[in-house]
Amino acid sequence: MEPLASTKTIDKNLESATGLLSRLIEFPTTRGEEKDVGLFLKTNISPFVDEAVLVPISDSLMDDPEYSFRLDDFTYRGAANLRCRLKGTGGGKSIAFNTHLDVVPPTPGQENPFSAMMKDGKIFGRGACDAKGQIATLWLVLKCLDDLSLKPGGDITLDFVIEEECGGNGTLKVVRDGLAADGAIILEPTDLQIAHLVRGAVWFEVVTKGKAGHSGSPGSTASALKEAVRVIEAIEKVREEFLVTSRKVLSQIATHPNPMPCTFGMLHSGNWPAAAPSEAVLKGVFGFLPPFHRRDIQERLIRSIHPFHAEIRFNMLNSDPSFIPDDHPLVRSLIEAARRTGISARPEFMNASCDSWRYTEQLGIPAVVFGAGSITSAHSGEEHISIGALRKAAEVLMIFIQNWSGLCHV
């Protein structure tokens, strides 16, 4: 593959890729609403792959012990992942790509979140970078390979999954169905850097108990809200303990100011300012890194709240960290591809969780995270992706496929 030829082909198809992204943004694919976008994408990607199959998600997946974020009276109603394959000619290494169809709900006050807007070379809208821009990147790569009549030496598998944002249930379906590959690239917004270390996350819900009563009789009351504040302090101490250990074993985070954030996102208690509440509900997420696993975090959090009148549940997202060495061939190959396009790439740490751990930890497939766009705009009212960055990501992936798997004319 001549670099000049691939660059010209990318430029020729870039407008179509951004048009596809604009259409993808129009689908309001919050949880439970992903069905239509999969069929749309299948229609638009089928001409460039050997197989494109919608993989329905059965309600029985909710019985899986690794299922995340159960909802009462929820049904999948025909929602599906989209599995695509480009068959290799033989002799090259295989690669799996993964990105997601779903988005988080619009930010309060966000104008026209499901209507793409182009401004200053950027496309704005919910999912623009997280992760529909990543879908458009893969579409652009496949279209260019087809235009150039190029086939990979090893098989390319692409999974466009549902429910990444609520814990990775779409990729859990990929895991349960089985997948083999020599490497995997999870497409998320990383500012075109290669993330080989991705933190894990344990979402928790703590219910504290107290004794309700009038503010005029404080001796006979016990505020569940105050108990929740004490729980917050105890959990913060656990985070500090774990962080000390992780800093010792991971040079990548030695100077990072907060690589294991613990976020307390919700606290509900009481119904009257002058009454001590009998119950408080605290919800948050505990970020963590190797050498720890999610079971370590859960067990330690259980012990940390034992002195309090409280119960803790882990009924939402629970993911392990994802890590492969920075000198792994997958990391080196993707960095080399990025550098050939002029990107000053290096192995990076991703201070957020995603589906990469299901590959490294559950499928045993080495995985990295890569993509255009920035996590600083994802989930925000100004979510966007640069068209130039999308183009650059496609160029990187085409060079990577050539180096990793080999490409030949057919």
* Average pLDDT value for residue range 131-159: 97
Question: What are the C-alpha distances in Å from 389 to residues 49, 202, 373, 406?
Answer: 24, 32, 7, 24
* Average pLDDT value for residue range 248-259: 90
* Average pLDDT value for residue range 98-114: 96
Give me the phi and psi of 396, to 5 degrees please.
Answer: -60, -45
Q: Is the pLDDT of residue 285 over 90?
A: yes
Number of H helices, E strands in the chain: 9, 21
Tell me: the pLDDT tens digits for 32-87? Answer: 999 999 999 999 999 999 999 999 999 999 999 999 999 999 999 889 999 999 99
In CATH terms, the superfamily for domain 3-198+321-409 is Zn peptidases (3.40.630.10)
Beta bridge partners of residue 184, listed in sequence order: 96, 367
Which has more pLDDT, 17 or 3?
A: 17
* Average pLDDT value for residue range 126-144: 98
Kindly give the pairing relationship between strand 347-350 and strand 275-276: unpaired
* Average pLDDT value for residue range 309-330: 95
Q: How many CB atoms lie within 10 A of CB 177?
A: 11
* Average pLDDT value for residue range 130-143: 98
Q: Is the pLDDT of residue 1 over 60?
A: no
Residue 147 confidence (pLDDT): 96
Tell me: the pLDDT tens digits for 179-195? Answer: 999 999 999 999 999 99
Whole-prediction pTM: 0.94
* Average pLDDT value for residue range 217-232: 94
Q: Are 32 and 74 in contact (CB under 8 A)?
A: yes
Q: How far is CA 374 from the centre of its chain?
A: 13
Residue 218 confidence (pLDDT): 80
* Per-domain boundaries in the chain: 3-198+321-409, 200-319
Kindly give the pairing relationship between strand 262-269 and strand 279-288: antiparallel
- Average pLDDT for the chain: 96
Q: Which residues of 73-84 are buried (b: 16+ CB within 10 A; e: fewer)?
A: eeebeebbbbbb
Residue 3 confidence (pLDDT): 57
Q: How many CB atoms lie within 10 A of CB 402?
A: 20
CA separation for the pair 67, 96 (Å, rounded): 22
Q: How far is CA 403 from the centre of its chain?
A: 26
Q: Is the pLDDT of residue 6 over 90?
A: no
DSSP 252-274: GGTT-S-SS-EEEEEEEE-S-TT
Q: How confident is the model at residue 315 (pLDDT cuts 50, 70, 90)?
A: confident
Q: Is the pLDDT of residue 2 over 70?
A: no
Q: How many CB atoms lie within 10 A of CB 250?
A: 18
Q: How confident is the model at residue 4 (pLDDT cuts 50, 70, 90)?
A: low
CA separation for the pair 66, 204 (Å, rounded): 15
Residue 389 confidence (pLDDT): 98
Q: Is the pLDDT of residue 216 over 90?
A: no
Give me the phi and psi of 197, to 5 degrees please.
Answer: -125, 120
Q: How many CB atoms lie within 10 A of CB 393?
A: 30
Residue 254 confidence (pLDDT): 81
CA separation for the pair 214, 196 (Å, rounded): 54
Question: What are the C-alpha distances in Å from 131 to residues 39, 142, 252, 264, 375?
Answer: 17, 17, 26, 25, 10
SS3 for 168-232, per residue? Answer: CHHHHHHHHHCCCCCCEEEECCCCCCEEEEECEEEEEEEEEECECEECCCHHHCECHHHHHHHHH
Residue 217 confidence (pLDDT): 84
Question: What are the C-alpha distances in Å from 298 to residues 200, 289, 292, 319, 322?
Answer: 12, 14, 11, 11, 18
CA separation for the pair 6, 314 (Å, rounded): 47
Q: Which CATH class is domain 200-319?
A: alpha beta
Residue 5 confidence (pLDDT): 60
Element (H, E) at 234: helix 224-249
- The residues near 138 (Cβ < 8 Å, ≥ 6 apart) are 97, 99, 158, 187, 397
Q: Are 192 and 399 in contact (CB under 8 A)?
A: no
CA separation for the pair 303, 316 (Å, rounded): 19
